[in-house]
A and B are shown apart, each in its own frame.
Chain A
Amino acid sequence: MNRIEQVFKNKSNRVLNVYCTAGYPKLDSTLQVMQALQESGADLIELGMPYSDPLADGPVIQHSGSIALSNGMTIATLFKQLKDFRKTVTVPVILMGYMNPVMQYGFEKFCADAAAVGVDGLILPDLPQYEFETEYGAIIKKYGLDFIFLVTPETSEKRVKELDALSTGFLYAVSSSSTTGNDKDFGAVETYLQRLKNLQLKNPVLVGFGIKDKQTFESASKHSNGAIIGSAFVKALENSSDIKADTKKFIANVLS
């Protein structure tokens, strides 16, 4: 059983996945942030690889990516930073990023290196289903990595089922059709999550986009297995002089 499966075996509700940007706020803070998240009670970590043109992300995460890039973060640097991270971080880690940098690095080499350092899964929002099925899915599988597809309230039932069948680890339910960090009415979101629940999907469902505090985390968890916090946590680290303390404070607030 891999690390992601283990998490959902032990805990079927209120699973907390927290997003952080590699190389942000400082180039060398990647590991420190991950350790602080684990100590604070995050169940999974989604580690963002910065990109110049992150279409699915809102301004907060894009800004953190710009800072990380100007700090000198690259995929090669990230794998160096992650070389020994499994000595201290035991929670599942999912790399999130965009196709272009991964293709430049070499898709297969990327999967091989990610698996070698102990990464558990990938989220590449602009890798389409067709290309996944015809080309990239087999490579991802070869290295034993999970691949997590996104679904939105606009995704048809038929397509949700298809994407669920292709996903391993969990399914990422985008709370509303929006970029990350957007405020939307959560009432409509609950109806949508209930709809997903009724489909009896193969994978656990984590809800992302617009989850920022205890209240939104609880609402999202009510009809799913848990939620993903991104922009709100990135913002909390913006001017942090004590990453450990600020991370603890932020997560404690969500889980209180």
Chain B
Amino acid sequence: MKHTFTSPDTKGYYGKFGGAYIPEMLHRNVEELQSKYLEIMYEKGFRNEFNALLKDYVGRPTPLFLAERLSKQFNTNIYLKREDLNHTGAHKINNAIGQVLLAQRLGKKRIIAETGAGQHGVATATVCALKGIECIVYMGVKDIERQAPNVARMRMLGAKVMPATSGSQTLKDATNEAIRDWINNPTDTHYVIGSVVGPHPYPDMVARFQSVISEETRWQLKEKTGSELPTHVVACVGGGSNAAGAFYHFLDEPQVQLVAVEAAGLGVNSGHSAATTQLGTAGVLHGSKSIVMQTEDGQVVEPHSISAGLDYPGIGPLHAHLFDSGRGKFLSATDDESVQAAFNLCKLEGIIPALESAHALAGLNQLQLKAKDVVVLCLSGRGDKDLATYMNRMDA
């Protein structure tokens, strides 16, 4: 079989990375997903319902916007894929809808999810409200404190927000708690993972649900430029779901440069960073083999980023493979660079980006772009949730 980046092998491996490193207690649930996800996802009735919700509920297709003043600044052509205009304010809803519909077809009555900044939690709570399904969201105690508006949104949408009190009390621990909940509720519960991480088939399943981003980009770009292929696709990467979606239909187009921007925090070597490919080594986290930020003794370390959505010590196995194989170009942007890039976009284009997406924008400074280049940048979310952080930095 021809090597392809769009599908892992039957055991869930992208090159050296992936697999399903799970305790036996999760085996039946994960195996059920492995054996059924593709069949369900590509069944006609499912496609129709999924596409109708993306259109009429989420508001897709999201615009592909030529950012003229930003383009002029970089002396190139920059198109913004406006995932920030989705219902709930980010790309996360694409995957939440897909997985909740899938869970219904598996006969599951209860949905659990983990969340860091709260975007995935809000998206999952939203879809559960829409479908009348019980929803429990695990969130680190520290994140509950620093992301109060999203906690309020989830509660208003009827979800139960469960504080993760173990370990470092952030996204990593919320994920641990969600996995434990799944172990303890093996028959009636589906775990909606929010990124392209976790045991096979989650990385592939989430990438496929998010692939609508690049599917639209291709025909939108063709309409605007006459060609479906840009020279660059740029996206931020924490676990990597918006990047996986933005890259997906370009993965097997080698002439398209795929650029992933990680969060450098206070600086890659500051000890307060989340730049996983720069700082991590091969390891197993949350059920898959990937690149993990860890101590010499194999203990997972707590990362830092100003962006809660990028504050994760791992990266999806697809991205680990893109990094390892050289197919993807990995950059990193610091907290400060990203905040500056966000203010720059506000000023030039009248768009307030999420802090996560601001990292992708900051990555533009590190690319040698030519006047003829066509850059697609995934603006994964809007910045309303980050206003407090931005306000603190206004005068800085």
Residues of A at the B interface (CB closer than 8 Å) are 51-53, 55-56, 58-59, 62-63, 66, 69, 74-76, 98-105, 125-128, 130-131, 149-152, 154-156, 159, 163, 174, 177-179, 182
Contact = CB atoms under 8 A, between A and B. Distances in A.
B297 A126 contact: no
B36 interface: no
B225 interface: no
B24 to A, nearest CB: 4
B119 interface: no
B175 to A, nearest CB: 9
Contacts of B281: 104
A144 B314 CA distance: 34
B24 A174 contact: yes
What is the interface residue range for chain B against chain A?
20 to 34
B21 A177 contact: no
Contacts of B24: 125, 149-152, 155, 163, 174
Contact of B21 (A52, A58, A66, A126): A126
A163 B283 CA distance: 24
Minimum-distance CB pairs A-B, first 8: A101-B298, A104-B298, A125-B23, A56-B23, A74-B297, A177-B186, A150-B24, A52-B299
Contacts of B297: 74-76, 101, 104-105
Interface string B156-191: 000000000011000010001001100110110000
B296 interface: yes
Contacts of B23: 55-56, 125-126, 150
B27 A100 contact: no
A128 B184 contact: no
Nearest to A63: B166
10 contacts: A52-B167, A53-B167, A62-B166, A62-B167, A66-B167, A100-B285, A104-B283, A126-B23, A151-B24, A177-B184
B183 A51 contact: no
Contacts of A182: 184
B181 to A, nearest CB: 9
Contacts of A63: 166
Given A128-B21, A155-B28, A179-B183, 20 more contacts: A53-B167, A53-B285, A53-B286, A55-B176, A55-B287, A62-B166, A75-B298, A100-B294, A102-B298, A104-B283, A125-B23, A125-B24, A127-B21, A128-B20, A130-B19, A149-B24, A150-B23, A152-B186, A154-B27, A179-B180
Contacts of A69: 299
B292 interface: yes
A177 B29 CA distance: 11
B65 to A, nearest CB: 40
Interface in B256-286: 281-286
A62 B287 CA distance: 17
Contacts of A98: 284
Contacts of B180: 55, 58, 179
B25 interface: yes
B25 A177 contact: yes
A13 B311 CA distance: 50
B11 interface: yes
A92 B331 CA distance: 50
Interface string B288-329: 000010101111100000000000000000000000000000
A131 B19 contact: yes
Nearest to B299: A52
A98 B285 CA distance: 10
A100 B25 CA distance: 19
B166 A103 contact: no
Nearest to A209: B25
Given A52-B167, A75-B297, A178 B183 contact: yes
A127 B23 CA distance: 7
Contacts of B186: 152, 154, 177
Contacts of B19: 128, 130-131
A104 B291 CA distance: 12
Contacts of B345: none
A178 B20 contact: no
B22 interface: yes
A104 B280 CA distance: 11
A75 B295 CA distance: 12
A195 B21 CA distance: 27
Interface string B179-223: 110011011000000000000000000000000000000000000
B298 A154 contact: no
Contacts of A103: 282-284, 298
Contacts of A59: 166
A206 to B, nearest CB: 14
A38 to B, nearest CB: 28
Contacts of A151: 24
B200 to A, nearest CB: 10
